[in-house]
Amino acid sequence: MTSTVSPPPYYENRGFQTENFYSARPQVGANPYPQYFSTNVPSVPTYIPRVSTHQSSSPVAPSSSSSSRMCSSSRKKIIIIVSAILLVIVCAIAAFLIWYFVENRCLGSLIECRSSGVCISPSQWCDGVTDCPNEEDENRCVRLYGPNFILEVYSPVSQTWYPVCQDDWTDDFGKIACKDMGYSVDTYYFSQGVATEVTFKSFMKLNTSAGNTDLYKRLQNSDYCESGSVVSLRCIECGVPTISTTIMSRIVGGSMAMLGQWPWQVSLHVQGTHICGGSIITRDWLVTAAHCVEGQFSDPSVWSVYAGILSQNQMLSGLGYRVQQIISHPDYDTDSKDNDVALMKLETPMHFTDTVRPVCLPNPGMMFEPNQQCWISGWGAEYQGGKTASDLNYVMVPLIESSTCNSVSVYDGMVLPTMVCAGYLEGGIDSCQGDSGGPLVTNKNSVWWLVGDTSWGTGCATANRPGVYGNMTVFTDWIYKNMQAYR
Ligand code: 4AZ
């Protein structure tokens, strides 16, 4: 761009000076900078400071012209230093941005196909359909199967999940598999061999001659497993309360909980008020109900999370964990409560203690029996229309078969496959307003599993209207994919 405006008059800003200070404007081409070091050209100093050797009074201050020159040169020095610092900062930011876009090309919720940089959605990861040019979305698929946490790897070739033979397996491989599922390495618990079941006819086995390559390239399909053991992998120590539950039996009709009994239970607050319950699954992630985070409540900044506290009175606002991100199930339906589940990611990882611990997410292949004893906990109303309970309550509720729960006399077909019923058809014991989002858990193989999240019901503790919960087994896959995508 050119300008038709004539150049501005020349002013040399030396701050305030006495009138006689102004020296002539330097000639064009003259060195405008102060000469700090001698050059080859001999120069005559214009000012030679003289210090009298016989002076009894205090030394004379340098003349005003000399002090202002020094002042001006030190100002220039500062400008040079500040400019240099700014340049370094700008370069550092530019380098970070270049690194960020090279390393994380996929923005938002997308997962990157490493070798090609193609971005795919979490639902395309391990869905049996190849979306990445190099099949990475289908050839690094791992899951934990059944109540014994059996590690399985998916083979896109045979489109089958295989257990991993314990031969040559180490914790380092376990950590890689846990990371690929969406866990952070700092919670890694252990891996151990468990005797193979007769149903296992084929395995994924480490090829020791494959060298130091990628774990998934080393795993090869084999009908033989020398140790006779498969890998059981625990990515986090979950489902272990510090206080065992005595089967006693407010919630409606429940008992007051003790510290450490339901250490995964959290109270979710908005403006100092309990709104919903939730369950801790990792240091960073909580599970709650999608209906708890609808509309204005979908803003993460409105929430505070309290863990390891029984009494609402002790949950003084400002001390809770802050929420960074809320992910509602994309297929949640407000009217039917289909897929009533949401994830909350915390701003800072939770500190686990005896009273703050995660619950286990149900693995695929886990079967919960009809009538299986499950427990609900929460600060929900103690009777229909009541207010939030001041202390955490819990009660045992048996699972109710979906066919029974969907019968004409009960919910007449309103219970969808993403839901599970629990409670008593005779009424009297149930979850209620304020328990929503909180856990429905069961104990199996000595660990506590999150069977469901409190979702809905007609009234509370009414005959033929049991509590309906989100069916967590159906959501586990969605939860892991999101933990992976928003690591
Ligand atoms: C609620 O509104 C709610 N009786 C939770 C559970 C039940 C009913 C309502 C089940 O939070």
Residue 63 lies in a domain: no
Q: How many angstroms separate the CA atoms of 335 and 341, rounded? A: 14
Distance 268 CA to ligand 1 centre (A): 16
437, 278 Cβ separation under 8 angstroms: yes
Structure tokens that stand for 394 in this block: 């819990």
Residue 364 lies in a domain: no
What's the burial of 274, exposed, middle or buried (CB within 10 Å: 0-12/13-18/19+)?
buried
Distance 352 CA to ligand 1 centre (A): 29
Query: Which secondary-structure segment (H or E) carries 269?
Result: strand 265-270
Report the percentage of the chain scoring pLDDT > 90. 62
Amino acid making up residue 186: D
Q: How many angstroms separate the CA atoms of 122 and 45, rounded? A: 74
Q: Which domain holds residue 183?
A: 129-234
pLDDT top residue among 249 and 475: 475
Residue 71 lies in a domain: no
As a three-state string, the secondary structure of 50-61 is CCCCCCCCCCCC
Residue 147 lies in a domain: yes
Q: Is the pLDDT of residue 21 over 60?
A: no
Residue 137 lies in a domain: yes
Q: What is the DSSP secondary structure assignment for residue 171, as one 8-state letter?
A: H
Best mutation site among 293, 460, 462, 468 for ligand 1, i.e. most ligand atoms within 8 A of its Cβ?
A: 460
Question: Torsions phi, psi of 415, nearest 5?
Answer: -90, 110
Average pLDDT over residues 312-324: 89
What is the tens place of the pLDDT at every residue in 403-438? 999 999 999 999 999 999 999 999 999 999 999 999
219, 157 Cβ separation under 8 angstroms: no
Q: How many angstroms separate the CA atoms of 190 and 193, rounded? A: 10
Question: Mean pLDDT in the chain?
Answer: 83
Q: Of 132-141, 199-208, 277-286, which one has max mean pLDDT?
A: 277-286
pLDDT top residue among 310 and 45: 310
Structure tokens that stand for 479 in this block: 């939860």
Please list the active-site residues: 291, 340, 436
Amino acid making up residue 106: C
Q: How many angstroms separate the CA atoms of 376 and 238, rounded? A: 17
Say what angle helices 472-485 and 171-181 make with each other, to 10 degrees.
Answer: 100
Q: Is the pLDDT of residue 41 over 50?
A: no
Distance 435 CA to ligand 1 centre (A): 7
Residue 37 lies in a domain: no
Q: Which residues contact 30 (CB under 8 A, 6 or more apart)?
A: none
Supply the pLDDT for residue 347. Answer: 98
CATH number, position 187:
3.10.250.10
Residue 184: count of CB within 10 angstroms of its CB: 17
Residue 273 lies in a domain: no
- Domain tally for the chain? 1
- Contact residues of ligand 1, CB 6 A cut-off: 430-436, 454, 456-457, 460, 467
Residue 259 lies in a domain: no
Average pLDDT over residues 368-389: 97
Supply the pLDDT for residue 246. Answer: 58
Average pLDDT over residues 103-129: 75
